[in-house]
């Protein structure tokens, strides 16, 4: 296989510790997956803390979420359907991270997308983060709710639930989660101090151009032609 499964399992455990130590998950929350090839994926098991995993915890599943390999006492996350929908619709994606970061999840609970252009890094790396309608965990409702956003975004808030990010590799998917949470925290705090200063359309256009020059991979909502962003209250780079 193209990827070293042992190393990927170790990396999944490391990322699990990072999201746990950064209070992005509590108890047994959250899940992580990595694509090995078109029909082989490694994923975190259900019912375990992401901060205390070892490589022998990690499960191997096929593209339908069926178990290929799992040690006794472990079975794949019940949210694996959500991950598989991302992989099915985005062949360029190599890893998916689901967490419940405090500030981002607070916006999701309040029914608010992250759609204000307030810092260059967020505009360049994320654009904006839409809000997918609520779906019951462990059911097809969540995969169905995120599907409309998969072709234009690399992250999404899950209404009353948490956040989901995806990218070409696990570290990049995790970094998007960290960036999303930092953006949400700054937006929350600045909104409590006063009215956040938002970039002008001209400033946003400059930041979008910087992203293009940097050659950042993945989907980006500003690349949608002549359309607004789904259910966001407004799209900050379109008329």
The owner of tokens 């020059």 is 213
The 10s digit of each residue's pLDDT in 88-126 is 999 999 999 999 999 999 999 999 999 999 999 999 999
From CA 8, how far away is CA 46, in angstroms rounded?
18
Assess if residue 232 is contained within a domain. Answer: no
> For the chain, what percent of residues have pLDDT higher than 90?
85
**Which pLDDT value is given to residue 237?**
44
Low-confidence winner among 78-92, 96-110, 219-233 (lowest mean pLDDT): 219-233
**Which pLDDT value is given to residue 230?**
39
The 10s digit of each residue's pLDDT in 31-45 is 999 999 999 999 999
Assess if residue 161 is contained within a domain. Answer: yes
**Which pLDDT value is given to residue 231?**
41
From CA 112, how far away is CA 130, in angstroms rounded?
8
Q: In CATH, what number is assigned to the domain containing residue 207? A: 3.40.225.10
Contacts of 189 (CB under 8 A, 6+ apart): none
For residue 72, the enclosing domain spans 5-223
Tell which residue, 88, 63, 67, has the closest CA to residue 77: 67
From CA 238, how far away is CA 226, in angstroms rounded?
7
Assess if residue 213 is contained within a domain. Answer: yes
Mean pLDDT score of the chain:
92
The 10s digit of each residue's pLDDT in 145-160 is 999 999 999 999 999 9
Assess if residue 230 is contained within a domain. Answer: no
From CA 113, how far away is CA 106, in angstroms rounded?
10
Assess if residue 179 is contained within a domain. Answer: yes
Tell which residue, 188, 176, 185, has the closest CA to residue 220: 176
**Which pLDDT value is given to residue 1?**
43
Mean pLDDT confidence for 75-99: 97
Mean pLDDT confidence for 215-235: 65
- Residue with the bigger pLDDT between 70 and 239: it is 70
Assess if residue 238 is contained within a domain. Answer: no
Residue 234 pLDDT class (50, 70, 90 cuts): very low
Assess if residue 236 is contained within a domain. Answer: no
Q: What single string gives the DSSP state of each residue in 93-118?
A: --EEEEE--HHHHHHHHTT--B----
Alpha helices per DSSP H over the chain: 5-21, 80-89, 102-109, 120-125, 141-146, 170-193, 201-214
Asked whether residue 217 carries a pLDDT value surpassing 80, the answer given is: yes
**Which pLDDT value is given to residue 228?**
47
Domain count of the fold of the chain: 1
């Amino acid at each position: 296989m193209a990827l070293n499964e042992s190393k990927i399992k170790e990396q999944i455990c490391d990322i699990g510790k990072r999201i746990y130590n950064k209070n992005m998950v509590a108890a047994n929350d959250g899940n992580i997956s990595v694509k090995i090839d078109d029909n082989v994926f490694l994923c975190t098991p259900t019912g375990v803390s992401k901060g205390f995993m070892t490589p022998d915890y990690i499960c191997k599943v096929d593209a339908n979420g069926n178990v290929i390999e799992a040690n006794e006492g472990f079975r794949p996350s019940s949210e694996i359907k959500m991950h598989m929908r991302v992989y099915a619709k985005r062949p360029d994606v190599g890893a998916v991270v689901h967490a419940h970061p405090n500030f981002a999840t607070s916006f999701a609970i309040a029914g608010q997308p992250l759609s204000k252009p307030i810092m260059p890094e967020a505009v360049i790396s994320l654009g904006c983060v839409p809000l997918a309608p609520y779906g019951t965990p462990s059911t097809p409702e969540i995969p169905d709710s995120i599907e409309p956003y998969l072709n234009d975004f690399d992250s999404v808030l899950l209404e009353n639930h948490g956040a989901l990010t995806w990218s070409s590799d696990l570290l990049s998917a995790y970094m998007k989660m960290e960036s999303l949470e930092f953006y949400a925290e700054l937006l929350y705090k600045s909104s409590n101090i006063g009215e956040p200063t938002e970039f002008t359309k001209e400033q946003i256009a400059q930041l979008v151009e910087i992203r293009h020059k940097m050659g950042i991979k993945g989907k980006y909502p500003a690349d949608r032609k002549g359309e607004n962003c789904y259910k966001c209250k407004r799209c900050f780079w379109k008329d």
